[in-house]
Structure formats: C-alpha cells, structure tokens
Structure 1
Amino acid sequence: MQTHEIRERFLNHFVKQGHTEVPSASLILDDPNLLFVNAGMVPFKPYFLGEQTPSSSRATSIQKCVRTLDIEEVGITTRHNTFFQMAGNFSFGDYFKREVIRFAWDLLTNPVAEGGFGMDPDRLWPTVYRTDDEAARIWHEDIGVPEERIQRRGGEDNYWDMGVPGPGGPCSEIFYDRGPEYGVDGGPAADENRFIEIWNLVFMQDIRGDKSPKEGFEPVGELPQKNIDTGMGIERVACILQGVENVYETDLLAPVIQVAEHVTGSVYGRVENSVEDVRFRVIADHSRTALMLILDGVTPGNEGRGYILRRLLRRIIRSARLLGATGATMEKFMDTVRSTMTPSYPEITENWERIRAVAVGEETAFLKTLESGTRLFEDAAAKVKATGGTELGGDAAFVLHDTHGFPIDLTIEMASEAGLTVDKDGFDTRMAEQRARAKADSRAKKQVHADVSVYRSFVDNHPTVFLGYDTTDAEAHILGLVSGGQLVDRAPEGSEVEVILDRTPFYAESGGQMADRGTLTGPGGLAQVLDVQKTGRKVSLHRVNVTGGELAVGDTVAAHVDHAWRHAARQAHSGTHLIHAALRDVLGPTAVQAGSMNKPGYLRFDFTYGTQLTSDQLRRIQDISNEAVDTDYTVNTIETSLDEAKAMGAMALFGENYGSRVRVVEIGGPFSMELCGGIHVDHSSQVGPVTILGESSVGSGTRRIEAYTGMDSMRYLAGQNAVAGSLASRLKVTSEDLPERFAQISERLQAAEKRINQFRTAELTARVGDYVMQAVTVDGVRVVAARVADGIAGGDLRTIANDAKARFGSDEAVVVFASADPESGKVPFIAAVTDAAVARGLSAGEVVKAIGPLVGGRGGGKPSMAQGSGSDVSGIDAAVAAVRPHVESALSGAR
C-alpha cells in the first residue's frame, strides 16, 4: 500500500466518523516554544489551552512535522526521521477513551476491502499508563485484547505533555509485533525494535505544573473538559504495510537512495549498517526535510530556522561527497523528492522553481566553502607537520567546522590522506560545549503560555465586527476593559488599558500593516488609541491611553481613525504590492515574499533571492512600480474560498495560515493579485510616487527593499533635489553634470593620495637606515624595536620592516615596528626575522604573540614575518621595550 493511499484511508476513516478534515498547517507557526511544528496536535493547541473555541468538536488531519534535536543521529538508526507525517484524530470535549480506542482498532484491523489497513489483530500490543485501569479494561473487555498483551508503563513512556505547564494526560500506545526475527518476545516493554510503536492515543485531561507527571509529579489540576489527541506515524505504518525493513525502504525514501547510488557510484546495503549506509540515509532524510522546509518559506541562514535548513543541506552535500560524488547533486535529489511527495502535497509543483533555486544556490555556495576549507585544512596540517606532530588538534577541527562550515567527516578523511589523525575527543568536547550553550538559550527562550483566559468569553461570544474597510468613523459600545491582565469596570485619566469594542473601524496589526491610530470619545472621557492587536483571531484589543475623564464598560464611544495616518498607511501597503509585482517581473518567480512591514509613508519588503540586486534591477523595479501608479489601475477586493483564490492565481504568503474564506486584493487584473486582509487605496495612482531607498541583505538568501510612498516620497525627493542643487551650485555645474564632476574629483583625489603615499614611503625608507643604526646586539642577534611615526598603516610597516630586514643581509636580526593611528585608535605592529635568526630558533610569529597583549591586541604569521593589531595606544612603548627580553628568553630556551 503506497504512502499516499495510507493517508487517504486514514482521513476517510475519520471523516466517516464525523470528523472535520483539517489541512496540514505550515511547518512554521507563531509559537514561542517551537522552531518548527513537531507534533500533529500543535495547530490545535489554542483549543486544548482554552484560548479559542473550535468550529467542530471532532477533527482529523495529516500534519507535516519536523524534529531536529538530534540531527547527527539521523541515519544511524532506521526508525527516526527529521521530517515525518503525523496522522491524528482529535476530540474537543466530545468523545473520550472508549470511542478513540475503538476508532483506532477498527482502522488498523478492518480488511483492506472495507477501508482498513488489514493488520493482524494478534500482532498488536497496547500499552497504558500504570494507573489507568479504565483504558486497560476497555482494551480487554471491549476490544478483546488478551490481558497478557496489555502492558502498563510509567510516565516516561505513557504520559504526554508539551514540555511546559499546560494540558497533558495519560496515553495508550499501540505497538506492532514485527516477528521473532527482529528481537525477543515479551512485548514493547521487552524490545521496542521488534515491537514498533505506530499510534499514540493521548487522553488529555490534566493540567501539569512546572514539574511533569512524566517525571512522577502530580498534575496541578483538571482541564475543564476531556479531550483526545492522537498521533499515528504515517512512515512507520508504511513500513509495515509495504513489508520493508525500515522507513528508508518505503516508497518515499528508497527512490532518493537509488539516485544517490547513481550519482556517487557507491552501493547501499553492501555492508549492513555501515558508515556508507548512514550517509545514504542522511541524503534521503535530509533531502525530503529540506524540500518541505523550503516549500513553507524557510531559506538558508546562520541562525534559527535558516541555520537548521543550511545544516541539513550541507549534510546532504557532505554525505554525497564522502560517498564519491564529484559534482553538483542537489537538483537530482530534490527532483526525486518532488516526484515522491507531490501526490500528497501538490503545492510542490507550483513552487518547484523556487525550491530548486534555493537548494541549488546553497549547494553552489557550499561547494566554494569546501574549496576554501580545503586550503585552510592544508595550512593547519602543514603547521602540525612542521612541528613534527601527527594529530590535528580538536580546536583546529572545531574552528574549521564552526567558523568555516567545514564538516568534521571531511576533516578526518583528509587528515588520514595526509598521514595525520584528528583529536576527535577534543572536537567532540567543543561541540558538546556549543550544544550545551544552544540548549541553555533554547530553555531560556521557552515560556509558559500567556494567560489569555480573560479574553475567552469575548472570543467565544463577542467577536469584534471590523468596519474599517468601509469607514474610519463608527459608534461602538465598550464590552470590556482589561488592565494588568484583569477585567476592570472603569479606566480613569492617565491609565493605559485594553478596550474591547463590539465593532471597530480600527485596523489591528496584521500582514505587515501597522495598526491604526486615532481616538475613542465617550460620554465621560477621551482616549488616544496607541495600538490594536487581535486575540484568538476574533477580538480586537485597543491599547489606549485615557487622556481625559474616564472610560467605563457599557459606554457608547465615537471611534475615530486618524485620517492622515490611514491614508498614508494605505499608500504604503498598496505600494508593497506594486513593488512585489515589479520585483517578480524583474527577477522572476523565484523571488518570493519573506515578510513585510508597512507604516504611513514607508515600507520594507523582504524576499528570497540569492544575490545582491544591481542598480539597474532596482531602477527597473522602481520604474515598473511607478508605471503602475501612472496607469491608475483600479484596486479590487474579492472575498472567496481559498481554493478559488489559488485558481485565480492569487499569491499567498508562506507560513501564513488562512481560513476557508480569504480576501484577494487585485491591482490592475493580472499585474498584482495577492491574498491580503490589509487596507488599500482605491486606485494605484493614490499610492503616489514610489521611491526605493535601497536594497540590503537580512540573512543568507533573504534580501530587503525599503521605499517611501506618497508625501514621504515627495519630501525625500525634494530633499535629494535640494542637496543636488546645492552641490551643483558650489561646483558651478548643472545637476545633470554632478556625476561626471564627482568622478573627476574622485580621480584627482586618488591620484593625490597615491602621490602622498609615495612620498610617505620614500620618507620612511629614508629613515630605515637610522633605525638599523640603533640596533642593539643580544647574544649575537641584532635587534631593532621602534615606535615609528603615527598614522603609518600596516602595509607601510611591512614595507619598511622588509627593507630593514634586507639591510642585515645574512646576519642574525629581529626587526619590530609599531605605530598608532590617531583617528581609529588602532595600533598596527609587525615583526620581521632574518633566515639566520630563524635558524637560531627565533620566530616573528612568537614575537607578535608576546607583544600583542601589551597593546590590547594579538597577531600571528610565519617565522620570518608576522603582524597584528591592537587597540591600546598607551601600551606601545611597553611593547617595544618587551622585544629585547623576549629575544633573550627565546635564545636561552633554544640552547
């Protein structure tokens, strides 16, 4: 049975049992506790936490999940994947243990012809929480499972919570017996390799405190209603129904391994569980995970989600290289994943070009890193051999890995080829320290879910009616006032509170558009609206400052949006859509929105793209945007279903979760069509001129355009024009001739600076003889150590140091010069040692290491020449004075 069919059978089974099918949420959700969605119940957390009321009391879904806690372990075992699909059925205060156990049993054991999976009932072993007599009785008396096949286990195995205070409960897991060839008898308590878990039924009834019942602590309370949360592993069930050994042999991952065999020349499974097999499995697992992450809008970066994606992609490339691949392989792997996953996720097809571009772009960049990393390794290896060593230090290997992205496996392989070993223990220690810091940061960022119960009754019973699409003024009633997380009846002058209205013209911050500003005027008070946010997606919270009198629950107020604010905000938001359309026209469909922010007169637009935009590309984007302004397109809004909107060609923002009804904003028909709940102008001409301020990087693979619209654009252009006019007047040219005039001035300045540098070098060279004459002799070695004139850069120091060194010819000599830069406060310094002195055991690198701390810096280099820089000018004299003692010490140690 193919994986796609397993998914369909699961959903059909529960839809027939009255469950509402819910599409998978994005892997990226706005949750402070999660980097990625890692369990099927995550999108339903607001219902379990009591923050929102579900539209249906029964739901079912196949949720995309990613877990990345132990990426290095992937492939070592065959049971775990970073990406997996979690099938689940959920009850929100509806059915409980008896029903959910029956639903699961029927699906697993019913014949294939009747829509089930057709599993042998005698191979299924349920486990229950140690004190859950009710679940054990249902399994035995209602389902008919013999008591000897029902095992009781402790909290670590059979209690579930989210890892933070919140809902939880005992659970019942279902295991499948794969047979004696996989291990010993005795059920899952005896061997979880033979008995593989396929389904977990969570009876969510408790509220856990700071300490989890998984660790033996009692719950702190009971949930107001009993809920059900289940998770069935699609991949594990596929193993069973397809009769294969592990997930890497199923229809989703086996094709990737086959392609990897073709492009590397290696063979999977030649030696069971070999290092090569692990690399094949890494390629298969990570290729699928990477594609799904890119699909949901993640781009490679150096932190957070982007770092995880980069790490996965680089492990693919690394593994393929170690298996024998010599060129680019990423597109082949990604294309294979596209073929296997598209039946379940058809949106892959429409986003394929973007996915391919991101993955291939990262591979291209990393292959260059491998080239540079190879050179760095060779330098490190040469230093080890020069000292007679045979082992590359763990610190050096860690720097190659952490700073330069050079994989440890390649370091070990290349060290072996060079006749060296690697201090793997030292490397592992540094990696463990890094992981400990990362885990500490992660724990510090985790937080208990905010208590939003104060808003629950409003979310359930009084959702705010939004009037802002049609008006900026409305009469409304105050339904609630919240101060310090508590409901209050009144808000006196000077207080800052949240006001809940029955209806509002104020736009709540969403989709990158900042909230409206304005006033609330009641019978006894006046308040300035500072911000508007939504809770539960249904209720607008107006954060206000009461500037006069007081507001009270029950008051009728005049809600007035600042017209100037709204107008300029609309211009910026519509301007964002124009720039998005123009950008895709210039760069193509792989440039996709990655975020935006609009406030009156100003916008910034983030998008995925691998390289910096040229000045010509920016000019074209600005021109196309302003052509749309000049064309005066009509701006239409259409409310329709999500499927119909996509059929119309409307673009959606990745990572955003849309409801069944969506709002499409259309500017000029096919010119721009996007899903958007924001407020826009009526005609594109109302945006006013669009002026792009610039473009920059905000992370690997993500760029940002900033721009002005409307009067802010006009004021900016007027200011630029005034500056240009003033400069033109002073230079006695027209504004149009300014670029040529500045080019001439720049050329003259560069020529003058070149002449000045030549004079300075000549002057310094002339003084070299004076420094050489001042040399002192230390045990036969001539030592020159001097502070030269301020403002001498490192390059000039090198010139005079080489000159001084050359004047000593074949003599043993050490030359050290230091200078001070009055503007930057930096202290460049350099050391040069003749070949004869090097033979005596002296090293320029050791000299700069010795004097560097005295000027608040450090340096390094070769035995014959080394340099560095410090930041403490006051230490120069001490550094110069320290050279002679260092030479004396080095010579005595070399005897």
Structure 2
Amino acid sequence: MSTAEIRRRFTAHFAENTEIGEHTVVPSASLLLDDPNLLFVNAGMVPFKPYFLGQATPPYQRATSVQKCIRTPDIEEVGKTTRHGTFFEMCGNFSFGDYFKEGAITLAWELVTKSVADGGFGFDESVLYPSVLNGDEEAVALWKKISGLPDDRIVRLPPSENYWSMGVPGPGGPCSEILIDRGPEFGADRDWDAGDRYLEFWNLVFMQDNVVAARSKYDVDIDGPLAQTGIDTGLGLERVAYLMQGKSNMYETDVVFPVIEKAMELTGKKYGASYEDDVRFRVVADHVRSSLMLISDGVTPGNEGRGYVLRRLMRRAIRNMRLLGYEDPAMPELLPVSRDKMGETYTELLSGWDRIKRVADSEEEAFRKTLAAGTQIFDLAATEVKSSGSTTFTGAKAFQLHDTYGFPIDLTLEMAAEAGLEVDEAGFRGLMTEQRERAKADARAKKGQHADLSVYRGILDANGPTDWQAYTTLETESKPLALLKEGKAVDVLGPEEIGEIVLDRTPFYAESGGQSADAGIIEFDGGRLEVVDVQRPVKGLVVHQVRVVDGEFHGNGLVHAQVDKEWRIGARQAHSGTHVVHAALREVLGPTALQSGSFNRPGYLRLDYGWTKGLTPEQMHEIEEVSNNALRADLPVSWDYMTLSEAKEWGAIALFGETYDDSKVRVVEIGGPWSRELCGGTHVDHSAQIGTIVVTSEASVGSGNRRIEAYTGVEGFNYLARERDVVSELNLLLKSKSDDVVGRVSDLMERLKAAEKEIARARTAQLLASGGSIAASAVDVNGVQVVAQRVPGVGGGDARTLAQDVRSRLGDAPAAVVLFGDADDKVAVVAAVNPAGIAQGVKAGDLIKELAPVVGGRGGGKPDFAQGGGTEVGRIDEAVAKVKSLVAGA
C-alpha cells in the first residue's frame, strides 16, 4: 500500500466516522510555528497546543490531521537505526472535551485491524500488543472489551514509556501504545525494550491530569483532574508505510527510496552491499527530503537556529555523497527526485520549486567553497602537529574546524588518517557535548519562561472575547473588566505606575502581523492613562499596557479609549506600503521573491525576503519606481474574508510560518491581482494615501535572506528633505552644482588616495633608510645575530616591513630580528628569523608567544615570521631585554 493511500485511509476513517462522530480534517500546519519552546513542529499535536492549554477555544470538538514534523536531537543517529528520521509525518486524531479513552481505543483498533478491502490497514491481531501505563486498569479493561485480547497481551509499562505531558504546566495523562511483534529475528521474546522487535507505531494520549510542574514529559506534579478531558494520538506514517510495504526501515518506503536509487545511479555504489555505505545512502535520502521540506516552508541556511539545522542537514547530505564517491554538485540531482514524490501531496513544492532550487544550489556552492578552504586550514594544522613532533590532531582543533568552518568531523578523521595522524575524538566529543548542554540549558531557560496565561484565560472565560473595533473606529466608550500589575489582579494603579487593563471593547490595534501596536490614551473620571503597548496574550482577548499619567485609576466606571489619530495614519501608510514594496519586489525580481517577515510602524517599514544575492542599485531604483508608480495610480485598497483554500485559489500570498484561522482569513487587495495578501493589519483606502515610498537600504540578514528598509508618508518626505540639505551643503563646500557633486567628490577621493599612497611610499622609504643602522646594532647570542629594538611611532604594518628589511640585511648567517612599535598608545611586536636561525632552534612564533604577554597582549605565527600586539607601552623596554635570554634558551 502506498504512503499516499495510507494517509488517505487514515483521514477518511475519522472524517467519515458516524458512530463516534465525524472529525474535521485539518491541513498540515507549517513546520515553523511561533512557539517559544520549539524550533520546528515536532509532533502532530503542536498546532493544537493552544486548544489543549486553554489559550484558545477550538472551532471543532473532533479533528484529524497528517502533520509535517521535524525532530533534530538525533541527527547523527539518522541512517544507523530504523527509528531515527529527521522529517516525518504524524497522523493524529484529537478530541476536545468529546470522546475519551473508550472512543480513542475503539477508533484506533478498528482502523488497524479492519481489512484492506474494507478500508483499513489489515494488521493481523495475533501480532499486536496494546500497552498501557502501569496501574491504568481502566485502559486495560477497555482494551479487553474492545479488542477481545487476553490479559497477557496487554503490556503494562512505566511512566517513562507511557506517560505524556508537554514538559510545561498544562494537560497531561497516561498513554496507550499499539505495538507490533516483528518476530524473533528482531529481538528476544516479550523484551519490550528491544526496540525493533515490539515496534510502537501508534500512541494514544489520554489527557486527564492538570500538570502544575514538569521536570520531563513523565516526571510531573499533578494537581487533580482537568476540567475537560482530551485525546491526542500520533501514528507514525513512515512506520506504518514500511510495515505495510514489507520493508525493513523507513528509508526503503516508496517516497524515500527513489532518492537512494538516484544516489546509487550517481555514485555507482550499491545499497545493501556494506553497512557503512548503507548508512550514507540513508543519511542522504533523509536529509534531502528534510531539506526540501524546510526550504519549502521558508527556512534558509544560516549559522543559528532553524537556518543552522537546515545548513547542517544539507551539508551532511552533500558530504555523504562525497564519501560515496560523487564529487559533483548533488542537490540539483537529488532534490527533484524527492520533489516529485512529496509533491504528490504537498503541491507547494511544485509551485515554489524555483525558489527552493535557488536556495539549495546557493548553499551547496557555498559548502563546496567551505570544503576547499577547510582543507587548506586542515593542511596548515596538520603541518603544525607534525612539526611539533606529535601525531595527534587535538580535539579543540577538530572542533574549531567543525564549529567555525562547518568542516564535518568525519572528513577531519579521514584526512587525518591519510596524513598519518590520529584525532583526539574524545576531546572533540567532549566539546560537542558541552555545546549541546549549553543549547539544552538555553532551551530549558526558555521553557522556564513559558508564560502563565491562566489569568488571561480566566478573564476571557468570564467575559468573552474583546469587542475589537480597530477596523471601524478610533475611539470607544468602554468598561474595564480587569486591572493587572505584573500578572496579578490589583485594585488600583497610582501615579506613574505601569499595569495592564482589559476593556470590554477597544479601538486599539494589538501588535500582530508585523504591525506595531497603536498608541493613544484612555481617559477616566479624574485622570488619564497612556497606552504603552497592546497585545493578545490569548486569542480573543486584547490587553492594554498602560502608564498612569494623571490621577489614580481604580478600574471602575466607564472610560474613553482613544487611538492617536496621527499614529494610526502613519501605521496604515507603513503597512500598506509594505504590501506595495512586496508586490514591486516580485515584479522586479520575479514571483519567487517572497516575503519571509516584516515590521512596520508609523513612517517606517522593513521587509525580509528570501534571496541569495544583493540587489543592484538599478534594481533598488526600479523597486522604488514601481512602488511610487503604484501610489501615483491611486490603486484601490480593499479587503474581504474567505476560507484559506479560497484565498489560495484566488492567488493570495500567505507569510511563511504564520498560522491562520481554519474557518476564515482576511485578504487585503491593492490594485486587484497586483497585490493580494493574507493580512490582519490596518490599511489605507487608496494607495495614494501612502504619500511616498523611499527605499533607504537593502542588506543581508543571514544566508539566503535579505532585508529592504523604507520610509513612507511624512517620514519619507523628511528623509528626502534631509538628503537635499546634505547635497546643498556639499554644493556650498565644493562650489559646485547638484548634478556635479558626485564627480567632484569622486575626483577629491582619487586625489586623496594618490596623496595617501605618496605619503606611504615616503614613510616606507624613511623606514628602510633606518634599516641599516638598526641592522648594525645586532649582537651575537650563541652564534645568532640578534636585533631587539624599540621603534617609536611605528605601527604594526610598518614594523613588519622594517623587520623583514633588517633580516635581509643580516645575510645568510643565523639571525633573529624583534622590533617593538608604539604608535597610538598600542604595542606592535614582530619577529623575523632567517632559515639559518630556525635551524639553530630559534622560531619567530615561539618568541612572540613569550614576548606579547609581557606587553599585555598575545600573538603567534610561523617559525620565520610572527607578530602580536599589546596595550602596555610602558613595558616595552622589559620585553626588549628579554629577547636575548629567549634566543639563548632556544
């Protein structure tokens, strides 16, 4: 049975169920969700977390989905086992206060055991073993009742296996897994920890406990039952696929194995011939698919966060193709294979292919350069190791190559072996462990900051959603519902105190969709509040952060909420301007130039987009021109509400990583199909109301990501006025006309450069003229001619030139020159040793390592030349005196 058919049968089983109830089929969310605890969606229930945590009211009682997921903790284990994969799809069914244990078990058992002819998976009951949390006798009784299995077929497992929570305060509960016995060749009889023999492929979570503290997913403190129970299940699509397709692991299924087949064709190697090569083939297949899905969802390679994960996956895939013997670019050959298989389900892979290909090709090209540069760095390091008489490449050096230059450890091991060296793997692994622990500590710290939103949820439950009128008015008469300070209810806010107020209705726009929150005031009988910020901590509730400007606020009586009119005008101009610049960008660069993030406030906009190279001045000018032509055309701006699927069919653009309401979305249109985007922000009525768009900069904000900044409205005109004033001042200084300023400045720059070169030549000539007298000061130290002098007013570059000149004047006899410059209250120290001096045991690098600390600095270099610096000018004479003893010791 194909993976696509397994996916279809799963959702159909729940969507068409009439006994327990039809489930709403929810499309897969993006791999990127705004969650402080997660880089990526790593489980099927993640998009439903707000419902389980009580942060939002679910729009349905029952749901089913097949969710894209990424898990990254075990990347290095990929390919070595049947269980570790980076990208996977999780099939799930969910109940929000509807059916519970009996319903979940009934639905699961029916689908798993129902015949293929009747629409099920057709697993043989004789090899299935349900597991329950040890002590959950209710689940045991239900499994016996529903499945008819005897007691010894129900496996009792400890909390470490069969209890689940989110790892933070919230819902939790016991689990029940369905295991399949794959036979004695995979492990011992009834050895539930064997892993590969009794394989778990479906986990049913019974959310029934109110978890108040969580040290892990199963080590929790429980404060009674939840007010509303829930069901969260997860069936691994890849696991079911390889079980039903008669394969031994997930890499051999119908959607993954074609990449391995292509890799075999390119490399000439055979899958199944050796364990080492099989692991490499599996890594390639997994990482190519994972990279494809991440790029499709808007991730671009980078050095931190999500971008670093993608970069690591791509580079591991490329590296493993090289280990299999393929030296040419691999991604252009492999990605299309994965695209064709995954695109059968995720059609955005086909429509977004040009952008995906551009990102992937750019990253592989960059990595090939990294490999070339890293190889040079390795060669230098290996030479140093050998020259020191050692045969071990340090763990610190291997870690530096890996962490700083992206040089894979397996490549370091291979090249070290070829050079006759060993690598301190233990040291390298230790440093990697330290890095992981730091990352885990950071993640734990972030989890510790998981906001307690219960107070806001309580306000929402007691009063209902805020009557939000930001689209229709700038002022309302409102009733205070709650007054908070530092997350706790208070009775009063005194002068200059900052707190939070919740109103029954509000005209204030809460920060979202890249648009900053409104500014304004809230007036009450006897005083006034300044609105500092406006947020939505839980869906449906608008919360105003305020500062008491006048009076003392007790949170009672009616208040008058009023948005700053000028602020809102500027905000509307900036947000509509962002849409215009995005449309202009796509017109100039093509439809693959998609926005990946934005921020706008009155008079200013910032737009991030996926692109691999900087814009030319001509392109920037064209984007600005297209934008302002759209303003001059006074294009109509309108918005409408529709379903997400209708919006996509209409051509509306959705922002990468954003989540949208399952029932209705808001589409903002400027000039018809020219600009159609999903957006909840405030906008002008006609494009001419934006005033002007002045593009001020375009720069990189990470690999594959660029940023355009611009001013709008009055701020745009003010920016142009400042530029005009600068040009006017230059005209006065240069006594020129505006159209000649650039030529005059360019001419002055050329003359300045010529003067600087002439000065540098004169300074060098002066320095070299002193070289003879300095060389004449050489003294003999154990047969080595030694020069050690302070050269006042000389910086590092000049000291280097002078030292090399003096060394050449000393001839072929053993010689060492050490000079100390003291320009700009800094010390520059350089050492130059000729070949005969090196043969005598005197090395420039060793001298600098000893001398630089004397003057409060550090340095190093090669045996023939080295340099360093310091800050303690007053200790130069001490360092000069030390040179002779160092040479003598050498």
The alignment's TM-score, normalised by the length of structure 1, stands at 0.96
Determine the structure 1 residue equivalent to 2:64: 60
- Shift in alpha-carbon separation, 1:214–1:621, aligned structure 2, 3 A: closer
Q: Deviations over 1:659-708 (max 9, x none)?
A: 12111111122322211111111111111221122122222221111111
2:818 to 806, 816, 819: 816
Local SS of the residue matching 1:650: coil
Alpha-carbon shift at residue 875 of structure 1 (Å): 3.6
Corresponding residue number in structure 2 for 1:164: 168
User: Which whole-Å CA distance do the structure 1 matches of 2:82 and 2:499 have between them?
Assistant: 55
Partner of 2:465: 463
Match of 2:409 in 1: 408
Superposed displacement of residue 454, structure 1: 1.9
Contact 1:159 1:213 in 2 (8 A): no
> d(CA) in 2 for partners of 1:782 and 1:447?
65
- The aligned residue for residue 681 of structure 1 is 684
SS in 2 for 1:656: coil
Distance 2:483 2:10 in 1: 46
SS in 1 for 2:867: strand
Distance (whole Å) between structure 1 residues aligned to residue 109 and residue 755 of structure 2: 87
- Is the 1:165–1:448 Cα contact (8 Å) retained in structure 2? no
Amino acid at match of 2:772: G
Alignment of 1:185-264 (within 5 A): 185-186=189-190, 189=192, 191-212=194-215, 219-264=222-267
Deviations 1:495-544 (A, max 9, x none): 43322222222111111111111122234432221211113221111112
On the 8 A contact 2:804/2:832 being kept in 1, the answer is yes
Q: Distance in 1 between matches of 2:204 and 2:246?
A: 24
- Residues 164 and 218 in structure 2, CA contact (< 8 A), matched pair in contact too: no
- Residues 881 and 671 (structure 1 numbering): CA distance in 2 closer, same or farther, change over 3 Å? farther
Partner of 2:328: 327
Structure 2 residue matching 1:111: 3-state secondary structure? coil
Q: Does 2:819 match 1:827?
A: no
Name whichever of 634-643 and 307-316 sits farther off. 634-643
1:216 and 1:313 map into 2 onto residues whose CA distance is 36
Equivalent position of 2:524 in the other structure: 522
1:385 to 1:140, Cα distance in 2 relative to 1, 3 A: same
After superposition, the Cα gap between the structure-2 partners of 1:554 and 1:792, relative to the gap in structure 1 and judged at 3 Å, is closer
- State the partner residue of 1:77: 81
Shift of 1:341: 1.1
- Residue by residue over 1:806-836, the C-alpha shift from the partner in whole angstroms, topping out at 9 and shown as x without a partner, is 11112221101121331xx543321111221
- Quote the RMSD (CA, aligned, Å): 1.9
Residues 437 and 212 of structure 1: is their aligned pair in 2 closer, same or farther, counting only changes over 3 Å? Answer: closer
- Give the equivalent residue in structure 1 for 2:511: 509
1:49-96 per-residue CA deviation (whole Å, 9 max, x = no partner) reads 222221222221111111101211111112221111111111122221
CA–CA separation in structure 2 for the residues paired with 1:839 and 1:190 = 63
Residue 881 of structure 1 and its aligned partner are, at CA, apart by 2.5
Answering whether residue 423 of structure 2 is matched by residue 419 of structure 1, we say no
Matched with 1:893 is none
> Of residues 268, 273, 281 in structure 1, which corresponds to 2:271?
268
After superposition, what is the alpha-carbon deviation per residue over 1:171-205, rounded to whole angstroms, capped at 9, x for unaligned? 1111011223333322x526331111011111111
Tell me the equivalent position of 2:99: 95
Q: Could you say which residue in structure 1 is the equivalent of 2:36? A: 32
Match of 1:119 among 120, 123, 130: 123
The Cα of 1:709 is off from its aligned counterpart by 0.9
Q: Which residue of 2 aligns with 1:749?
A: 752
Q: Say which SS state the counterpart of residue 381 (structure 1) adopts.
A: helix
Cα distance, 1:33 vs structure 2: 1.3
Residue 487 of structure 1 corresponds to 489
Partner of 1:664: 667
Shift of 1:752: 0.8
Rounded to whole Å, the distance in 2 between the matches of 1:842 and 1:490 is 78
| Mapped contact 1:665–1:675 kept (Cα < 8 A) | yes
Q: Which moved more, 1:64-73 or 1:89-98?
A: 89-98
Shift, 1:488, TM fit? 4.3
Q: Which residue of 1 aligns with 2:761?
A: 758
Stretch deviating more after TM superposition (358-367 or 860-869): 860-869
Unaligned stretches of 5+ residues in structure 1: 891-895
Whole-angstrom CA distance in 2 between matches of 1:813 and 1:213: 66
Which shows bigger deviation, 383-392 or 683-692?
383-392
Per the TM alignment, residue 710 of structure 1 is displaced from its structure 2 partner at its CA by 1.0
Structure 2 distance, partners of 1:235, 1:506, is 47
Mapped contact 1:64–1:86 kept (Cα < 8 A): yes
1:47 equivalenced with 2:51 (yes/no): yes
Tell me how far 1:423 sits from its aligned partner. Answer: 2.6
Query: Are residue 572 (structure 1) and residue 574 (structure 2) matched?
Result: yes
Structure 2 regions of 5+ residues with no counterpart?
A: none
The superposition leaves residues 76-123 of structure 1 with CA deviations (integer Å, 9 ceiling, x where unpaired) of 112221111111111122221111111100000011222211111111
Q: Per the alignment, do residues 676 and 190 of structure 1 end up closer, same or farther by CA in structure 2, a change over 3 Å counting? A: closer
Verify the 8 A CA contact 1:164 1:448 in the aligned structure 2: no
Instruction: Tell me how far 1:457 sits from its aligned partner.
Output: 4.4
1:6 aligns with 2:9: no
CA, structure 1 residues 217+299, in 2 after alignment: closer, same or farther (shift >3 Å)? closer
Report if aligned partners of 1:213, 1:219 keep a CA contact under 8 Å in 2: no
SS, match of residue 113 in structure 1? coil
In structure 2, the CA distance between the partners of 1:292 and 1:874, relative to structure 1 (3 Å rule), is: farther
Letter aligned with residue 395 of structure 2: G
**C-alpha separation in 2, matches of 1:145 and 1:252:** 34
3-state SS in 1 of match to 2:470: coil
| SS in structure 2 of the partner of residue 535 of structure 1 | coil
State the distance in 2 between where 1:833 and 1:548 align.
Answer: 76
Q: Do residues 886 (structure 1) and 886 (structure 2) align? A: yes
Superimposed CA distance per residue, residues 344-403 of structure 1 (whole angstroms, 9 cap, x where no aligned partner): 212222222111111111111001101111111222222333344433232222221111
Q: 1:503 to 1:371 in 2, by over 3 A?
A: same
Report whether the alignment pairs 1:790 with 2:803.
no
Change (3 A) 1:451 1:137: same
Aligned pairs for 1:270-309 (under 5 A) are 270-271=273-274, 274-309=275-310
Name 1:634's counterpart in structure 2: 636
Report the CA distance shift for 1:226/1:215 in structure 2 as closer, same or farther (over 3 A): closer
Aligned to 1:499, the other structure's residue is in SS state: strand
Partner of 2:546: 544
Q: Secondary structure at the match of 1:882?
A: helix
- Paired position in structure 1 for 2:777: 774
SS in 2 for 1:343: coil
Q: Secondary structure at the match of 1:14?
A: helix
Classify the secondary structure of the residue corresponding to 1:235: helix
Cα distance in 1, alignment partners of residues 519 and 230 from structure 2: 41
Task: From the superposition, tell whether residues 798 and 217 of structure 1 become closer, same or farther in structure 2 (CA, over 3 Å).
Answer: closer
Cα distance in structure 2, aligned partners of 1:307 and 1:829? 39
Q: Does the Cα contact within 8 Å between 2:55 and 2:539 map onto a contact in 1?
A: no
Change (3 A) 1:213 1:443: closer
2:719 aligned with 1:716, yes or no? yes
Q: Distance in 1 between matches of 2:431 and 2:304?
A: 19
**303-312 vs 457-466, which moves further:** 457-466
Q: 1:601: how far off?
A: 0.6
Distance 1:396 1:164 in 2: 39
C-alpha distance in 2 between matches for 1:407 and 1:873: 43
Q: Secondary structure at the match of 1:59?
A: strand
Counterpart in the other structure of 1:454: 455
Bigger shift: residues 615-624 or 390-399: 390-399
Mapped partners of 1:810, 1:190: distance in 2? 73
Residue 581 (structure 1) aligns with: 583
Aligned equivalents of 1:483, 1:111: Cα separation in 2: 60
**Structure 2 residue aligned with 1:852:** 852
1:405/1:8 Cα in 2 relative to 1: closer, same or farther (>3 Å)? Answer: same
Matched, 1:616 2:618: yes
Alpha-carbon distance between aligned partners in 2 of 1:448 and 1:90, rounded to the nearest angstrom: 27
Q: 1:573 to 1:877 in 2, by over 3 A?
A: farther
Aligned residues of 1:166 and 1:449 also touching (Cα < 8 A): no
- Separation of aligned partners in 2, 1:774 and 1:750: 36
Q: Deviations over 1:150-185 (max 9, x none)?
A: 111111111111223332111111101122333332
Residues 95 and 228, structure 1, Cα contact 8 Å, conserved in 2: yes
Q: Say if 1:886 and 1:697 are closer, same or farther in 2 by CA, change over 3 A.
A: same
